[in-house]
Structures are given as structure tokens and as C-alpha cells.
Copies of this chain bind each other. A is one copy, B any other.
Amino acid sequence: MRDYHRSVTEPEPVHTYHHGDLRRALLEAAEQMIRESGPASLSLREIARKVGVSHAGPTHHFKDKTGLLTAIAAEGYRRLGESLRAAYGSTGSFLEVGVAYVRFALAERPYFEVMFRPDMYRRDDPEVVAALGTVDDTVFGAIRTMLGPGQEDRVQTVGVAAWSLVHGLAMLTINGNLPPELAADPEGLTRTIGAAAFRSPDRALNATT
């Protein structure tokens, strides 16, 4: 009852309080429970039970249930930002940023699901806002580079188009709306569709008509 789910690879818990790094343990338990049964049925008390702490234990770290979900959303946006940055950094391909987006949605599904349920957390939370800003910067930076100079007026539109495409694909895959043979290889599907919707990888959208 003193050392919870501390990951072995975790270096330092910053502080070992009365019962270990409770905040992290709660977040990990929440992530696992969301992965198993979705964010809708999440219960604070069940999280506390699973971690071995009293039912009001979480209150001090996240004041609300909303507070816990806000922390999860913020962490999700941070991880998404890292994933996209890593994908762009290692490939230089804008298409691969989209693939990384879909990959993140499926691999880190608990975070992704919470992130896009804005009625479940506080979107104006500073950490959320900051992490979201970082994601935007990464994506639009990549788009600017891809389009080249003198295309500033198209950056926003292209960005929204690309975001819509991969976000929709991720959502439909997660929600089980796609035929199984396509849902089996989401990354391949993303490349196929992305390359088809864009003239070629890392080139601009087609001109209208």
C-alpha cells in the first residue's frame, strides 16, 4: 500500500509522498480504464479503488472529475505534438505527419477520445491551450514549408483540409464505421487516401476545377 504502479523506467517521481506518486498512478489507471471501456463510463471512485486509495483521494490532485479529464487531454495534446514532430522530423514528409496522426489516434486512443470530447474537460485550461498551440505550430509550419513562399493565403485551407481528412479517418476507424478490410490497415489507408486527395505527397492540394 505504499508503492503503486510506478513504471520501472520512470526516473524520479519528483516527490515520494505519503503513498507514492499518486497523481501519476491515477492518470495511468484512468488511461487503462478508458482504453477498456471508453471515457463515458469512467468513475473516479473506481479509479481510486484500483489504485488502492480512498474514494476522495483524487480530489486533492484533480479537484474534479473534469479536472482529471483535463489533465488527460493536456497530456494527450503534448504526446500528439511529440508524435507529429517526430514524424515530420524523421521523414520530412507532410503525408507522414498525417499518418502519424492516425497512428496516434489508434495507439493512444484513450487520450485521443478525451481530447475531442470538449464537453468532458476544460478546454480553456492553460496546459491544454499551450499543448494545443504547439500542435498547431508544428502542423502549420510543415504546411508552410510544403507549400513554399507566396502561398500564405492557402495555408489555412490546406491545413483544415488535411486535418479534416486524417481526423475523420481516425474517428471513423475508432468508431468502427469502416468496412473491416479497410480498417485492418489504417496507416496504409491513410497513405492511399492522403496521396489521392493531394496531388502527390508533399505537394499542394489541387486547384479547384
Give chain A's interface residues, CB within 8 Å of chain B: 37-41, 116-120, 123, 156-157, 160-161, 163-169, 171-172, 175-179, 182, 189, 192-193, 195-201, 205-209
Residues of B within 8 A of A123 (CB): 176
Measured in the bound complex, the distance between the Cα atoms of B118 and A37 in whole Å is: 11
Measured in the bound complex, the distance between the Cα atoms of B192 and A165 in whole Å is: 14
Measured in the bound complex, the distance between the Cα atoms of B172 and A182 in whole Å is: 23
Q: Is A119 within 8 A of B40, CB to CB?
A: yes
Measured in the bound complex, the distance between the Cα atoms of B164 and A189 in whole Å is: 11
Counting chain B CB atoms within 10 Å of each CB, the highest count among A169, A193, A197, A198 belongs to: A197
Measured in the bound complex, the distance between the Cα atoms of B115 and A53 in whole Å is: 36
Q: Is B161 within 8 A of A119, CB to CB?
A: no
Q: Is A200 within 8 A of B208, CB to CB?
A: yes
Q: Say which residue of B116, B164, B179, B195 sits within 8 Å of A193 (CB atoms).
A: B164
Measured in the bound complex, the distance between the Cα atoms of B175 and A199 in whole Å is: 29
Q: Please give the count of copies of this chain that the complex contains.
A: 2
- Tell me, rounded to whole Å, the shortest Cβ–Cβ distance linking A189 to chain B: 7
Measured in the bound complex, the distance between the Cα atoms of B165 and A205 in whole Å is: 13
Q: Is B175 within 8 A of A116, CB to CB?
A: yes
Q: 5 interchain pairs (CB within 8 A)?
A: A40-B117, A157-B189, A165-B165, A196-B205, A197-B198
Residues of B within 8 A of A120 (CB): 40
Q: Is A172 within 8 A of B164, CB to CB?
A: yes
